[in-house]
A = this chain, B = another copy of it.
């Protein structure tokens, strides 16, 4: 059992930036958004011919949009575990020599997104524990509603924690279980967990995939030749040439070993709460969740938005990249021409050095460039997928007006985000939800739009066509939380 870690230089720069303006410095997809997401990946390679860590590495690159703060892979060769993790992007965390050390026919991997407060290597995943029941590696996407309570109980009884991860809470429950069999100890511990968890675990000879009873976060099963793979999103299968088999079901435990796949339901709980934001923003456009392609859902939301809105305009302009799919749908439905009125600079990372001299709206200026020749003298419908704090929207609209737009009508392809999320949200930002304390008109005014339009909740839900009937978690829009309200505290 060997652990290694490294800090990429990216990380060091990142530290210097501080947290004050984190929203604007998050990497591409997650910018100015509200959730703490992660991506998990697992491989069980029945014929032992290929390297499980290499497949994980590729899978994590495909899942990179779910977390850019840290990355890790734990491999397993005949029960010999090797773990490497570090701060930064997958490509910078893993060097050739790291991959060489990650031998074995099984592996699990993780990419993590987080707020800066808890941004440190000890919070990188997977975590690896060496218990008397055997070695166990765990990687987890989600947020336990009762994580703090469980941690407190465990500490009262003498458990020592080395991270602030919910994943470590699960590890201690397993270590404390009276079950000697590590798989049974893991399943037993699930009964104590409340909230969102899509979990991939690895023992000496088994790969285990678990999804919480309400199925908050996606988790899928795939296969290539004799190799089983598990991933947060189906887009990770494509890259390694694997076929999508099916979603892991809410409340399901899948155990894969040399004897094949075994599945069971560990809970009698019913009723699902798939996070609707996966369709709006989190998931990658080429992923399918519950049978619905994400890009097409977004385009459909744009069409629906056009149907619900009544604005005359010359052009439909997306905020790149988050508004592109909806803008194309909007343009198609409304007949108003689509125009690339804003260019995104692909080379703007998160680590650039803030100059000492003041340049107004510098970050937005570096990243987004309105094209005057397209914008000038036009009535613009500006499309984005959501507004969280409103800061970026305000700066973009400002720059479009500077470029000569006659009117800017902001259209959002989801409803107003009024409530905090307890299943993946950084709750410290609750007060920052502009829609939680302002009317639509106030928001429109504060961001400088000539008018502001949101997609209705019914319209949004109608745009998503899953292959089975599903309940969604829409709590951030309507405050209707699918867990016991006593866990819904922001005090943690």
With contacts A99-B353, A346-B29, A353-B94 taken as known, whether A62 is within 8 angstroms of B160 at the C-beta atoms is no
Per-residue interface assignment for chain A, residues 142 to 170, with 1 indicating a CB less than 8 Å from any chain B CB and 0 otherwise:
00000000001001111111100000000
Are B369 and A96 interface neighbours, CB within 8 A? no
Are A352 and B61 interface neighbours, CB within 8 A? yes
Q: Does A441 contact B (CB under 8 A)?
A: no
Shortest Cβ distance from A153 into B: residue: B132
Per-residue interface assignment for chain A, residues 369 to 388, with 1 indicating a CB less than 8 Å from any chain B CB and 0 otherwise:
11111100000000000000
Are B158 and A176 interface neighbours, CB within 8 A? yes
Q: Using Cβ atoms and an 8 Å threshold, which residues of chain B touch A365?
A: 238-239, 241
Are A158 and B130 interface neighbours, CB within 8 A? no
Shortest Cβ distance from A136 into B: residue: B160
With contacts A121-B5, A132-B156 taken as known, whether A61 is within 8 angstroms of B366 at the C-beta atoms is yes
With contacts A54-B357, A357-B51 taken as known, whether A285 is within 8 angstroms of B371 at the C-beta atoms is yes
Q: Does A485 contact B (CB under 8 A)?
A: no
Q: Using Cβ atoms and an 8 Å threshold, which residues of chain B touch A293?
A: 371-374
CA distance A9 to B99 in the complex (A): 16
The distance from the CB of A380 to the nearest CB of chain B, in whole angstroms, is 16
What's the interface size class on A, roughly? 35 or more
Chain A facing B: main interface SS = mixed
Q: Does A20 contact B (CB under 8 A)?
A: no
Are B369 and A240 interface neighbours, CB within 8 A? no
The distance from the CB of A203 to the nearest CB of chain B, in whole angstroms, is 15
Per-residue interface assignment for chain A, residues 262 to 299, with 1 indicating a CB less than 8 Å from any chain B CB and 0 otherwise:
00000000000000000000001110100001011000
Are A9 and B92 interface neighbours, CB within 8 A? yes
With contacts A175-B160, A357-B54 taken as known, whether A8 is within 8 angstroms of B5 at the C-beta atoms is no
With contacts A156-B132, A160-B172 taken as known, whether A120 is within 8 angstroms of B3 at the C-beta atoms is yes
The distance from the CB of A429 to the nearest CB of chain B, in whole angstroms, is 22
28 A-B contact pairs sorted by A residue (CB < 8 Å) = A3-B122, A4-B120, A6-B7, A10-B92, A16-B96, A51-B356, A54-B356, A58-B359, A61-B345, A62-B345, A65-B347, A68-B347, A91-B351, A95-B353, A130-B161, A131-B155, A132-B155, A159-B175, A238-B365, A239-B359, A241-B360, A286-B369, A293-B373, A295-B343, A295-B373, A296-B373, A321-B346, A324-B340
| Residues of chain A having any CB pair with chain B under 8 Å | 2-10, 13, 16, 27-29, 49-51, 54-55, 57-58, 61-62, 64-65, 68, 89-92, 94-96, 99, 120-122, 129-132, 152, 155-162, 171-172, 175-177, 235, 238-241, 284-286, 288, 293, 295-296, 321, 324-325, 328, 332, 337-340, 343, 345-349, 351-353, 355-357, 359-360, 362, 365-366, 369-374
What 6 pairs across the A-B complex have the smallest Cβ distances?
A158-B176, A64-B347, A54-B355, A132-B155, A293-B373, A286-B369
